[in-house]
């Protein structure tokens, strides 16, 4: 059970301090600041134990969020809560910055009162919170509405209120994936996995029941050869029909009992945006890019680097925001870069050459070559050659994930599945996408 | 934008302000990376940088390094800066080198060359910079490279004062890191004369240097004593207005004074009377000044004043020669004892501890006993209380022992846990050391166990048992006391152990009283049995079996207890075995056998007190070592309780070793009960076997050939053959003194300071009874006044083959030459037999060895230069000279053998303290063997006339 929650700015000044339990003393605030924020050595562990008190912290840009407890709590739960907390704050006032926290501190205390009760996490769903934690411009509710809130918050479906009406029933599905890769210089995949999320934005009237179909191997097999391919723009892996999902987790609205028994994902969605599902795959990943590095040390004073980037997806698709980061030795004294496409620059502050390509089509190849001048140093240690990393964004799911269908049933109101306008979008981003050189 | 004045570096200022404005660690790292890349490209660039730019970039690198980042380039540029002529550039170069270049760097050669150039420069600023750098790095390579340049600077006439000052300190730094490297020979006298320098700063720096040099080589720097004394007297006598810059809160040059006083503590008191008088005057002036009203209320004033004062007192204690000064110092410290300032009280107690060990000021210290005891009780700071305990321990002697021990016992109840164990040991030692009356000793130790049982270590209660067993006079009292102590409803386990042991041995002495009848005793002990640990239970079981022997009437009660499942089937193997064996022993053996097996414990051999050893181990500093005469620890009725960890072991060894052969009635076992580690001098008195088998208790030592039988009526003269044996006893304590066909006379003696105890064993070698056996002791001449002799009577008959023991107490009142004479008369087969023997009690027996270092030794040696205090003899060695033999002879003479004191390793140097009732006399011995000529030259010096002569003669007879 969380005993207290503190928010600090980068200097360690306390912005928000909320204590839920008596076992957390006043000095806990200072203990964290002294031992973690101002520690001589950077504290890398997210959990710190100081005088029998555990501090769980996350950092968002320059803001530190720390949850404190004296008990043996579920650490995953605490971190989940902290992340939810930042999501809620972001939903209320945008970016979590010192400025914004200072401007909204009354609101933050209000939220903290609501989402944690005596240290036990409560409903952290933004949509619901917004119904009773209101901001400027939002009127306070009438008597009936207030009573409705009570029944709804305490009721079975706590995430959706009744009586929602839209003229156009619409829903948006975003499949967001991040690809993580570590590749040897020879092109051998050392490790690769995809972490994906499905974010849904629903604007549906009434209390609709949705059914969601994906091309997961298990779900597909249990359904047999029922109905062929659904709509959806084909990625590079269109030939594959099903993928193996290693593990997944759902939003609270998904009826897990049905998932267990019938292998179907059915739910009554909250109104607005929410994360329906998270999953992870490790097999048959189609890697969008491949880097072929060539590093040659010419004597002690000079080094030559040649990098080839190959895109490996349908030529019709276009990758965006491609960025290759080539680390340089610590004793670099000068760099000359030549590249055919995009812009490359030596960034001394980051000890790397950064090569940016705005757009890049599928099945293409780009090349960069650089000459690095080195300064003689007393340091006898050899340069460790950190891996070359890469960032990009591609319009397909590298895991091969597909949405097969999303059906909406609302028996009480007069619209059917066909009347709902559905949008599906696939975005593949790079996570830690590295190639050793 | 930061504003930069004059010569400042704008780029550096901008960079620093950028770093300061960084919002996060990441931003800072980015900024630094950028700057490093910039500097790298600048250093790499082909065009040469001017001095200013180099300085700027080196400075930036230094700043980045100080922020905690690694710097692995720029060293060369920094070294280049050293050759610049501009002060700022040179300074930054040196700064970078001191901070960043390690001693093992490749560039060190270049750096040293640059330093050498600067040292040779005419500009004092450059020299100082270079010296600073040397002092900061102080590597071996530097010491090697610059070992000539720096001393040259120090003594050269043209160097200015501030440079000299730096040079002295730099040299000191190098000396500390590589002491062997600096060849000082030719510079010695010139360095010493720096103490005469006009400039006080130079003198202060030189004083530090010289003190270090003196520690290494005292002889070479001997000349500094007189210079230091005269310098000190000039400072002390000057008023605070004289030494303008070197007066600190109205105290003239306190640091220099303290350093000079410390320097003088490396030497014995000066021999030159003029110097000595001057030094005494100085010390007196310092003591006088302490009495003056303070010139300022500031704490700095009193601190500086007291610093000088305490150092002066330390010097007085070190010299230990002027009673007047010592007493004055003591009085001064007495004032501090009541001072408000806790630190002062602490220091006063600490110094007093040292003073208490000096023979001159011991009495003076004792005057403050009341104050110290109050301090012990009321002081708030535990460390000060601890010092008070130390001081009480140090000031304790026979006169005040009872009171001090009483106070310490009282305080022990409320004492801090951290010092309890130590206090317990100290109380135990004091009680033993100064016990006049052993009942008092027993009371004290039992109290100790009662008050602080948990802190009473094994050694303490072993000791009490040893003493009770070795002294017949306290046995009854001890039994009564422990019986009473055990009646308390809750008593400590240590108490049960002592009680069990003593009652098992001497329970019969109190069994007459119906209140402590055998059954009551047994029940009392057994009521504690179940609360004790297995080790204690084992001890109690041994007590029970002894009860069976002592009180046959309660045999059945005890057998029931032994039989109980609780004991017979105890999970502890030791307990099980004991109960079964004891049960069998009690039921099978006859009363006679039992009595033999369970004979009273024989006296323990005397060794160094184990308690003392423990205290020494625990706190090496708190027990002043032998160099202080007063604190020479007693070598007294002591027995080390074997190295067994099992507390019940003494009993069990006794039983084991005597148990099995006892059945056959043979009582030949010469059992060293405890001396598992010491093979010689076993002294187990015969266990009454009575089958005509005479136990030669001294068989390991018996070397004397049987003396011719003397039925001699030679009344006045000594019995023949005894003189030879007498000589042997000068260097040993136990052995056979006399033997003929009728009688064997053995002697066992032990000495503790001025007290000696001699046991004489008369063994009848005949198969007839010796009748009218009577022994008298006579003290010829002035021996009657010099040696006080107490004699225990010895019975009229000596059975055939039996042995009787007689005890003499010999206290040394003052020095003596002759030995007391033992007149033995008895009737053998109707004829009157008479034997006259010199009892081997000589002056050297009352010596205890003393340890001291060379400085201390020669200090004392020189102090005893009066012809009457010295005795020298040159004589031919009686046996071939052998180092080990001579050494053991000296050790037997009770003086220490000190190594590394005499420049000639062949020579022996020894020291000791002679204890007489009236005073303690320091003894110094120097023995110079000449192997070619087989001659010895023996010199003895003693602080009392005549003593040297007597000892010299005694020792000569041995060599």
pLDDT in tens, A329-338: 988 888 999 9
Cβ distance B30 to A378 less than 8 Å, yes or no, reads no
Residue B396 has pLDDT above 60, yes or no: yes
Cβ distance A350 to B33 less than 8 Å, yes or no, reads yes
Residue B102's alpha-carbon distances to A378, B97, B139, B175, in angstroms, are 12, 8, 9, 19
At residue A144, the pLDDT reads 66
Residue A76 has pLDDT above 60, yes or no: yes
Contact partners, residue A331, CB within 8 Å, separation at least 6: A374, A375, A376, A377, A379, B40, B72, B73
Cβ distance A334 to B38 less than 8 Å, yes or no, reads no
Cβ distance A332 to B37 less than 8 Å, yes or no, reads yes
Smallest Cα distance from B3 to chain A, Å: 26
The H or E element that residue B357 is part of is none
Cβ distance B30 to A349 less than 8 Å, yes or no, reads yes
Cβ distance A348 to B36 less than 8 Å, yes or no, reads yes
Q: Which residues pair with B936 in a beta bridge?
A: B875, B929
Scanning the structure block, which residue is given the tokens 């970016």?
A95
Cβ distance A378 to B24 less than 8 Å, yes or no, reads no
Q: Which chain A residue is nearest to residue B29, measuring alpha carbons? A: A349
Contact partners, residue B342, CB within 8 Å, separation at least 6: B380, B381, B384
Cβ distance A333 to B75 less than 8 Å, yes or no, reads no
Smallest Cα distance from A383 to chain B, Å: 13
Of B25, B38, B40, the CB nearest to A331: B40
Q: What is the mean pLDDT of residues B914-921?
A: 80
Smallest Cα distance from A136 to chain B, Å: 32
List the structure tokens of A178: 């991040």
Q: What is the mean pLDDT of residues B650-659?
A: 36
> pLDDT by residue (tens digit) across B543-591?
888 888 888 788 888 888 888 877 878 888 888 888 888 888 888 877 7
At residue A25, the pLDDT reads 86
C-alpha span between A400 and A398 (Å, rounded): 5
Of A62, A375, A379, the CB nearest to B44: A375
Return phi, psi of residue A6, to 5°: -125, 145
Smallest Cα distance from A332 to chain B, Å: 7
Cβ distance B25 to A42 less than 8 Å, yes or no, reads yes
Of A334, A373, A379, the CB nearest to B72: A379
Question: Residue A373: its chain B contacts at CB < 8 A?
Answer: 44
Smallest Cα distance from A70 to chain B, Å: 30
Question: Residue A13: its chain B contacts at CB < 8 A?
Answer: none
Q: Label residues A402-437 b or e (16+ Cβ within 10 Å = b).
A: bbbebbbebeeeebebeebebebebbbbbeebbbbb
C-alpha span between B265 and B254 (Å, rounded): 17
**Higher pLDDT, residue B647 or A413:** A413
Question: Residue A59: its chain B contacts at CB < 8 A?
Answer: none
Q: Is the separation of the CB atoms in B544 and B558 below 8 Å? A: yes
Lowest pLDDT segment from A400-409, B137-146, B257-266, B374-383 = B374-383
> pLDDT by residue (tens digit) across B167-184?
999 999 988 888 877 666
Residue B743's alpha-carbon distances to B699, B707, B740, in angstroms, are 15, 10, 6
Contact partners, residue A52, CB within 8 Å, separation at least 6: A70
Q: Which chain A residue is nearest to residue B41, measuring alpha carbons? A: A333
Site from B44, B74, B79 to mutate, A interface, most A CB atoms within 10 angstroms: B44
Scanning the structure block, which residue is given the tokens 């050293």?
B82
Q: Work out the angle between the directed axes of helices B555-563 and B518-529 (0-180°, nearest 10).
A: 20
Q: What is the pTM of this model?
A: 0.58
**For chain B, the helix, strand and coil percentages under 3-state DSSP, each to the nearest 5:** 55, 10, 35
Of A348, A350, A377, the CB nearest to B72: A377
Cβ distance B37 to A333 less than 8 Å, yes or no, reads yes
Q: What is the mean pLDDT of residues B671-688?
A: 35
Contact partners, residue A173, CB within 8 Å, separation at least 6: A198, A199, A200, A276, A403, A406, A422, A423, A424, A425
Site from B21, B31, B72 to mutate, A interface, most A CB atoms within 10 angstroms: B72
- Helix residue spans in B783-882 (DSSP H): 783-786, 854-863
Q: Which chain B residue is nearest to residue A377, measuring alpha carbons? A: B73
Scanning the structure block, which residue is given the tokens 């400072």?
B235
3-state SS of A337-358 is EEECCCEEEEEHHHCEEEEEEE
B 81-140 near A (Cβ less than 8 A): 105-106
At residue B644, the pLDDT reads 35
Q: Is the separation of the CB atoms in B642 and B650 below 8 Å? A: yes
Of A10, A42, A379, the CB nearest to B23: A10
Question: Residue A380: its chain B contacts at CB < 8 A?
Answer: none
Question: Residue A350: its chain B contacts at CB < 8 A?
Answer: 30, 33
Residue B243 has pLDDT above 80, yes or no: no
> pLDDT by residue (tens digit) across B555-564?
888 888 888 8
Confidence of residue B447 (pLDDT cuts 50, 70, 90): confident
B 19-48 near A (Cβ less than 8 A): 23-25, 30-31, 33-34, 36-38, 40-41, 43-44
At residue A203, the pLDDT reads 93
Number of Cβ atoms within 10 Å of the Cβ of B181: 15
Residue A434 has pLDDT above 90, yes or no: yes
Number of Cβ atoms within 10 Å of the Cβ of B226: 17
Of B33, B43, B70, the CB nearest to A375: B43
Scanning the structure block, which residue is given the tokens 């400042």?
B8
C-alpha span between B923 and B911 (Å, rounded): 6
At residue B849, the pLDDT reads 82
Contact partners, residue A147, CB within 8 Å, separation at least 6: none
ipTM: 0.73
Smallest Cα distance from A182 to chain B, Å: 25
Number of Cβ atoms within 10 Å of the Cβ of B380: 7
Q: Tell me which residue of B62, B47, B133, B136 sits closest to B94, measured CA to CA.
A: B133
List the structure tokens of B852: 């001291």
Smallest Cα distance from A348 to chain B, Å: 5
Contact partners, residue B472, CB within 8 Å, separation at least 6: none
At residue B516, the pLDDT reads 79
Strand arrangement of the beta sheet that strand A265-267 belongs to: A265-267, A209-214, A403-409
Of B24, B33, B106, the CB nearest to A62: B24
Residue A390 has pLDDT above 90, yes or no: yes
Return phi, psi of residue B170, to 5°: -65, -40
Contact partners, residue B8, CB within 8 Å, separation at least 6: none
**Three-state DSSP state, B60:** helix
Sequential DSSP letters for B120-172: TSS-HHHHHHHHHHHHHH--HHHHHHTTTHHHHHHH-SSS-HHHHHHHHHHHH
C-alpha span between B843 and B818 (Å, rounded): 9
At residue B153, the pLDDT reads 86
Cβ distance A332 to B34 less than 8 Å, yes or no, reads no
Number of Cβ atoms within 10 Å of the Cβ of A40: 6
Q: Label residues A165-194 b or e (16+ Cβ within 10 Å = b).
A: eeeebebebbbbbbbbbbbebeeeeeebbb
Number of Cβ atoms within 10 Å of the Cβ of B541: 29
Write down the mean pLDDT value for chain B: 78
**Higher pLDDT, residue B734 or B255:** B255
Number of Cβ atoms within 10 Å of the Cβ of A150: 10
Return phi, psi of residue A356, to 5°: -115, 135
The H or E element that residue B410 is part of is helix B401-412
Smallest Cα distance from A42 to chain B, Å: 9
C-alpha span between B209 and B355 (Å, rounded): 29
Smallest Cα distance from B142 to chain A, Å: 21
Smallest Cα distance from A39 to chain B, Å: 12
Q: Work out the angle between the directed axes of helices B87-100 and B75-82 (0-180°, nearest 10).
A: 140
Question: Residue B34: its chain A contacts at CB < 8 A?
Answer: 348-349
> Between A and B, how many residue pairs show a Cβ–Cβ distance under 8 A?
49
Cβ distance B40 to A375 less than 8 Å, yes or no, reads yes
Confidence of residue B677 (pLDDT cuts 50, 70, 90): very low
Smallest Cα distance from A10 to chain B, Å: 7
- Bridge pairing between strands A421-435 and A170-183: parallel
Q: Tell me which residue of B834, B796, B629, B808 sits closest to B715, measured CA to CA.
A: B834
**Higher pLDDT, residue B241 or A88:** A88
Residue B802 has pLDDT above 90, yes or no: no
Contact partners, residue B565, CB within 8 Å, separation at least 6: none
Site from B15, B30, B36, B75 to mutate, A interface, most A CB atoms within 10 angstroms: B36
Question: Residue B36: its chain A contacts at CB < 8 A?
Answer: 330, 348
Q: Which chain B residue is nearest to residue A375, measuring alpha carbons? A: B44
At residue B687, the pLDDT reads 37
C-alpha span between A151 and A134 (Å, rounded): 18
CA atoms within 13 A on the CB side of B285: 17
Question: Residue A10: its chain B contacts at CB < 8 A?
Answer: 23-24
B65: alpha, beta or left? (left if phi > 0; alpha if psi -120 to 50): alpha
**Higher pLDDT, residue B712 or B945:** B945
List the structure tokens of B659: 């148990």
C-alpha span between B546 and B586 (Å, rounded): 10
Instruction: Count helices and strands (H / E) in chain A.
Output: 8, 23
Cβ distance B73 to A349 less than 8 Å, yes or no, reads no
Residue B622 has pLDDT above 80, yes or no: no
At residue B831, the pLDDT reads 73
Question: Residue A376: its chain B contacts at CB < 8 A?
Answer: 73
CA atoms within 13 A on the CB side of A364: 15
Of A333, A334, A348, the CB nearest to B33: A348
At residue B652, the pLDDT reads 36
Residues of A with CB under 8 A from a CB of B: 10, 42, 62, 330-334, 348-351, 373, 375-379
């Amino acid at each position: 059970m969380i005993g207290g929650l503190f928010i600090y700015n980068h200097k360690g000044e306390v912005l928000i301090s909320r204590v839920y339990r008596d076992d957390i003393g006043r000095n806990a605030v200072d203990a964290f600041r002294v031992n973690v924020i101002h520690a001589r050595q950077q504290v890398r562990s997210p959990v710190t134990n100081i005088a029998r008190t555990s501090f769980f912290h996350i950092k968002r840009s320059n803001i530190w969020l720390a949850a404190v407890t004296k008990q043996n709590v579920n650490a995953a739960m605490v971190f989940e809560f902290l992340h939810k907390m930042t999501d809620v704050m972001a939903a209320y006032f945008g970016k979590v910055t010192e400025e914004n926290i200072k401007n909204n501190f009354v609101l933050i205390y209000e939220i903290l009162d609501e989402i944690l009760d005596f240290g036990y996490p409560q409903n952290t769903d933004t949509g619901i919170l917004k119904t009773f934690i209101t901001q400027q411009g939002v009127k306070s509710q009438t008597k009936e509405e207030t009573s409705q809130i009570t029944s709804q918050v305490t009721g079975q479906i706590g995430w959706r209120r009744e009586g929602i009406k839209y003229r156009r029933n619409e829903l948006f599905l975003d499949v967001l994936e991040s690809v993580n890769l570590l590749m040897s210089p020879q092109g051998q995949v050392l490790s690769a996995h995809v972490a994906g999320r499905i974010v849904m934005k629903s604007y549906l009237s009434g209390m609709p029941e949705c059914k969601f179909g994906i091309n997961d191997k298990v779900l597909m097999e249990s359904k047999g050869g029922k109905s062929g391919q659904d709509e959806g723009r084909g990625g590079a892996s269109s030939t594959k029909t099903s993928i193996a999902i290693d593990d997944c987790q759902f939003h609270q609205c998904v009826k897990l009992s049905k998932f267990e028994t019938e292998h179907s994902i059915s739910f009554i969605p909250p109104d607005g945006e929410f994360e329906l599902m998270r999953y992870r795959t490790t097999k048959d990943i189609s890697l969008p890019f491949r880097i072929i590095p060539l590093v040659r040390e010419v004597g002690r004073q000079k080094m030559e680097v040649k990098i080839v980037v190959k895109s490996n997806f349908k030529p019709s698709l276009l990758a965006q925001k491609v960025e290759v980061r080539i680390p340089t030795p610590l004793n670099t004294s000068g760099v000359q870069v030549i590249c055919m496409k995009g812009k490359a620059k030596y960034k001394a502050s980051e000890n790397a050459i950064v090569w940016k390509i705005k757009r890049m089509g599928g099945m293409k190849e780009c090349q960069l070559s650089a000459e690095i001048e080195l300064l003689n140093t007393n340091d006898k240690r050899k340069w460790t050659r950190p891996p070359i990393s890469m960032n990009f964004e591609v319009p397909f799911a590298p895991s091969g994930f597909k949405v097969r269908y999303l059906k909406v049933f609302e028996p009480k109101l007069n619209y059917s599945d066909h009347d709902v306008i559905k949008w599906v979008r696939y975005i593949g981003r790079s996570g830690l996408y590295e190639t050793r050189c | 934008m930061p504003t930069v004045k004059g010569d400042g570096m704008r780029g550096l200022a901008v960079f620093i302000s950028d770093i300061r404005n960084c919002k996060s660690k990441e931003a800072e790292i980015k900024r630094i990376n950028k700057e490093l890349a910039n500097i790298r490209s600048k250093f790499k660039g082909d065009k040469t940088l001017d001095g200013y730019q180099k300085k700027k970039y080196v400075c930036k690198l230094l700043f980045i390094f100080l922020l905690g980042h690694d710097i692995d380039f720029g060293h060369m540029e920094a070294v280049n800066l050293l050759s610049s002529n501009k002060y700022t550039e040179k300074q930054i170069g040196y700064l970078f080198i001191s901070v960043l270049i390690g001693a093992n760097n490749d560039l060190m050669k270049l750096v040293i060359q640059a330093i050498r150039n600067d040292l040779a420069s005419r500009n004092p600023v450059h020299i100082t910079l270079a010296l600073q750098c040397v002092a900061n790095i102080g590597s071996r390579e530097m010491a090697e490279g610059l070992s000539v340049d720096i001393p040259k600077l120090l003594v050269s006439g043209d160097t200015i004062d501030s440079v000299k000052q730096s040079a002295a300190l730099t040299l000191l730094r190098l000396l500390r890191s590589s002491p062997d490297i600096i060849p000082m020979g030719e510079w010695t006298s010139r360095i010493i004369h720096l103490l005469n320098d006009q400039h006080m700063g130079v003198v202060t720096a030189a004083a530090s240097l010289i003190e270090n040099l003196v520690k290494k080589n005292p002889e070479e720097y001997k000349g500094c004593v007189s210079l230091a004394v005269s310098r000190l007297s000039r400072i002390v006598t000057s008023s605070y207005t004289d030494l303008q810059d070197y007066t600190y809160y109205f105290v003239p040059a306190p640091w220099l004074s303290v350093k000079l006083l410390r320097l003088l503590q490396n030497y014995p008191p000066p021999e030159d009377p003029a110097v000595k008088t001057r030094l005494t005057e100085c010390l007196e002036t310092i003591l006088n000044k302490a009495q003056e009203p303070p010139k300022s209320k500031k704490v700095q004033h009193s601190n500086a004043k007291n610093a000088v004062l305490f150092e002066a007192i330390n010097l007085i204690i070190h010299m230990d020669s002027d009673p007047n000064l010592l007493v004055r110092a003591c009085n001064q410290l007495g004032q501090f004892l009541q001072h408000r300032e806790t630190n002062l009280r602490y220091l006063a107690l600490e110094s007093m501890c040292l003073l208490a060990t000096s023979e001159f000021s011991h009495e003076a210290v004792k005057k403050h006993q009341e104050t110290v005891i109050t301090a012990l009780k009321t002081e708030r700071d535990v460390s000060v209380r601890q010092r008070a305990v130390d001081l009480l321990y140090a000031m304790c002697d026979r006169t005040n022992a009872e009171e001090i021990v009483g106070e310490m016992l009282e305080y022990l109840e409320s004492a801090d846990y951290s010092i309890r164990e130590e206090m317990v040991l100290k109380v135990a030692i004091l009680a033993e050391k100064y016990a006049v009356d052993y009942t008092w000793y027993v009371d004290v130790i039992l109290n100790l166990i009662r008050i602080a049982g948990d802190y009473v270590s094994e050694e303490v209660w072993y000791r009490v048992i040893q003493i009770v067993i070795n002294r017949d006079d306290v046995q009854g009292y001890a039994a009564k006391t422990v019986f009473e102590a055990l009646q308390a409803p809750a008593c400590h386990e240590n108490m049960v152990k002592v009680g069990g042991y003593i009652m098992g041995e001497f329970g019969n002495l109190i069994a007459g009283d119906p209140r402590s009848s055998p059954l009551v005793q047994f029940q009392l002990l057994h009521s504690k049995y179940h609360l004790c640990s297995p080790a204690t239970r084992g001890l109690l079981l041994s007590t029970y079996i002894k009860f069976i022997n002592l009180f046959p009437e309660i045999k059945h009660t005890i057998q029931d207890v032994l039989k109980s499942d609780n004991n017979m089937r105890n999970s502890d193997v030791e307990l099980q075995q004991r109960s079964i064996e004891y049960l069998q022993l009690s039921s099978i053996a006859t009363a006679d056998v039992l009595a033999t097996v369970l004979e009273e414990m024989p006296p323990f051999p005397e060794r160094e007190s184990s308690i003392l050893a423990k205290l020494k181990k625990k706190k090496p500093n708190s027990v002043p070592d032998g160099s202080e005469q007063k604190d020479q620890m007693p070598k007294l009725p002591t027995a080390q309780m074997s190295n067994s960890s099992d507390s019940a072991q003494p009993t069990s060894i006794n039983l084991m070793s005597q148990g099995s052969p006892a059945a056959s009635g043979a009582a030949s076992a010469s059992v060293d009960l405890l001396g598992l580690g010491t093979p010689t001098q076993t002294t187990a008195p015969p266990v009454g076997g009575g089958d005509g088998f005479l136990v030669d208790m001294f068989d390991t030592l018996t070397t004397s050939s049987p003396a011719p039988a003397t039925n001699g009526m030679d009344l006045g003269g000594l019995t023949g053959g005894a003189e030879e044996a007498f000589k042997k006893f000068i260097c040993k304590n136990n052995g056979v003194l006399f033997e003929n066909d009728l009688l064997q006379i053995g002697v066992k003696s032990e000495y503790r300071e001025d007290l000696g105890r001699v046991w004489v064993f008369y063994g009848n070698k005949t198969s007839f009874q010796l009748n009218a056996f009577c022994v008298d002791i006579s003290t010829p001449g002035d021996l009657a006044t010099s040696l006080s002799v107490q004699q225990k009577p010895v019975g009229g008959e000596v059975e055939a083959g039996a042995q009787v023991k007689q005890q003499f107490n010999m206290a040394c009142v003052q020095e003596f030459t002759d030995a007391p004479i033992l007149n033995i008369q008895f009737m053998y087969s109707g004829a009157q037999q008479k034997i006259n023997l010199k009892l081997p009690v000589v002056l050297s027996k009352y010596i205890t060895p003393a340890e001291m270092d060379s400085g201390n030794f020669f200090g004392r040696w020189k102090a005893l230069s009066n012809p009457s205090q010295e005795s020298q003899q040159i004589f031919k060695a009686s046996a071939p000279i052998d180092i080990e033999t001579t050494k053991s002879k000296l050790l037997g003479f009770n003086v220490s053998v000190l190594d590394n004191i005499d420049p000639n390793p062949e020579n022996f140097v020894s020291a000791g303290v002679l204890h007489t009732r009236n005073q303690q006399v320091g003894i110094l011995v120097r023995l110079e063997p000449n192997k070619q000529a087989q001659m010895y030259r023996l010199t003895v010096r003693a602080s009392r006339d005549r003593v040297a002569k007597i000892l010299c003669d005694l020792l000569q007879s041995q060599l």
